[in-house]
Amino acid sequence: MSRRSEAAKKWRPYRSKFEKDIATALRRKKVKFKYEATKIKYTKPVTSHVYNPDFTLPNGIIIETKGRFTASDRKKHLLVREQHPELDIRLVFQNANVRLSKASNTTYGDWADKNNFLWANKEIPAAWLKE
């Protein structure tokens, strides 16, 4: 990690404005959470990787926030769920109506439905916080 990125992280602990907005909303609702505190090992076909989810709630629900939801992100989430079916990982999209690509009619929300991921648009549903 370069010095510049280390300094930037000290001043800005979240990787995106959307993550910061979700953290702010959780604080307003007085929900305790840990940010990028959970490390989950998973294996791609040839190599081992670590997935660092965005938020872990006290009830064990893991929240991944997504502004952009790339093909590599989608593959990663399928691999992590396959290798860790005991984890409750849910997606919160900045805009669930964005299409996977210009050539696709499938939206982020459609992909999550098709692959049996619980998901929300823009914010964490209150019901998830009470589970």
The strand ranges marked E within the chain are 34-35, 40-43, 48-51, 55-56, 62-66, 89-93, 119-121
Instruction: Give 28-61 pLDDT, tens digit per residue.
Output: 999 999 999 999 988 777 778 899 999 999 999 9
Show me where the domains of the chain are located: 16-130
Residue spans of the chain under pLDDT 70: 1-12
Count CB neighbours of 126 within 10 A: 9
Q: 16-130, what's its fold?
A: Restriction Endonuclease (3.40.91)
Displacement of CA 5 from its chain's centroid (Å): 21
The pLDDT of residue 47: 77
Beta-bridge partners for 62:
56, 89
Give the separation between CA 51 and CA 47, rounded to whole angstroms: 13
The pLDDT of residue 49: 86
Report the greatest alpha carbon distance in the chain.
Answer: 43
Going by C-alpha positions, the residue among 52, 32, 18 that lies closest to residue 129 is: 32
Q: Tokens for 1?
A: 């990690």
Going by C-alpha positions, the residue among 31, 73, 84, 82 that lies closest to residue 56 is: 31
The pLDDT of residue 12: 62
The pLDDT of residue 9: 44
